[in-house]
Structure 1
Amino acid sequence: MTCFLCLQCGTQFAASEAPPKRCPICEDERQYVRWEGQAWITADELAAKHRLVMKEDAGVLAFGIEPRFAIGQRALLAQTPHGNVLWDCVSMVTDEAVAEIKRRGGLAAIAISHSHYYSVMVDWSEAFGGVPIYLHADDRQWIMRPHPSIVSWEGETKAINPALTLIRCGGHFTGGQVLHWKREGGDVVLAGDILQVTQTRRHVSFMYSYPNYIPLNARAVQRIAAAMDPFAFDDIYGAWWNQNIIGDAKTALAISVARYLAAIA
């Protein structure tokens, strides 16, 4: 029995004797099936050709896979006095990564913006004794490897600890969430691509599907703005290496919402 990974999106599926016949996440209109057709890979096969890298990204410890694998996102470690949380996930776990997180105080929980980054979230949880994985209940249909550690929370916000609060923004996915982090030196938002940091690193943008170029409608973007309005923050950390807005990020979000709505009007 093997927990196969989708080669295109990096999502790990429940254990089976043979690879699944399809990946619902890739068949969804927000993603896509490989041009060459659906394909699968095992964790050992992935480790034979790729490596997990750890490095600081604008002062936050981040994890990514090199050479690029699947969607190519990186994960972030939110370190707080109340416990550390891994934000988003990648499709590899290594002894070195586990040791480094333990050296920094261990891991209390995992939280993931949306299903494109679920990857091997269960493996990450089990590496730290089965810590909870916080996913919004509106996205439970996209969980391909069910596990007791998964917490499907409901509502609009959820405090993981006194420093970390999940905010349901919706948009890209109905349960799309970001993580607000009260941090010494200035609060931040870990956004995945629910708030997509643009190449200027001065704005964000919004899409229903990034690879298939389907924009969000005005109501969805206005809802994101309303969800973020009660929270103060200086920085936004996006889904990709070095793609962050450092300084005055709340103003950048407001400007970005206004110009997006004007563009689609």
Structure 2
Amino acid sequence: MAFAKALRRQPSIIPGFGPALGFTLAYLALIVLIPLAALVLRTADLGLSGFLTVATEPRVIAALKVSFGSSLIAAAINGVFGLLVAWVLVRYDFPGRRLIDAAVDLPFALPTAVAGIALTAIYAPNGMIGRFFAEWGIKIAYTPRGIVIALIFIGLPFVVRTVQPVLAELDREYEEAAATLGAGRLQTVTRVVLPTILPALLTGFALAFARAVGEYGSVIFIAGNIPFVSEIAPLLIVTRLEGFDYAGATAIAAVMLIISFLMLFAINLLQAWARRRMGQAG
């Protein structure tokens, strides 16, 4: 009540907080909360014991490990190389920069099935790149490595486009001041640049991870879909649906939802901590 009164006392150039908030909550409930609630309620047909039975099946656990493990690895790799790509695009002017900048968004526009077929053709044992690894006994396509490659492909734009505007707005005077005070290049990057862009980098990581967890189209072609080896949880859900096991499919989806929410919540807490630390440092 006191919080609402405090909000009303604050002057605003644009009125209409009440209707805007009401529309926001209604839209969020209609588009997000109600479908998710229906997903959770659907699992009630199984009961708690049935839900736990499905969630603890060895095949389900193996698929969840593949999905979340591959997504974390791909998001971490995208965090490093996405930052590097954004840095190059912002800090350097070179021929073809605009072309490379536009190419970053291609995974957004390309159908995921097409991406999966293309990646499979390239990284297969007889493919353009896969054959070189095959000579060393390394197989990429039809293994968890292929899943990580596909998830890196679809997740890279999220990191680049999240970090790029922050880097563009970063005042270089801070870097020059650090150099004047005797800081080396590594110290300037770790103590000036990285703390500033860390919240944006974590946001890009979270978006790439969330996108990767639910990815289906580009993964099923390159994964091989071998149970206990390279089978992802979304494919297992589709398999259950094709077998008319709707309760089992929703149970697996609910487990994915819970794990994803907890992991994203932890990342958000880390973002808030990074912002507070940056504010205290400033």
**Structure 1 length-normalised TM:** 0.18
Between 1 and 2, higher relative CO (CA 8 Å, sep ≥ 6) is seen in 2
Point out the structure with the larger strand share: 1
More helix by share: 2
Compare CA radii of gyration and give the structure with the larger one. Answer: 2
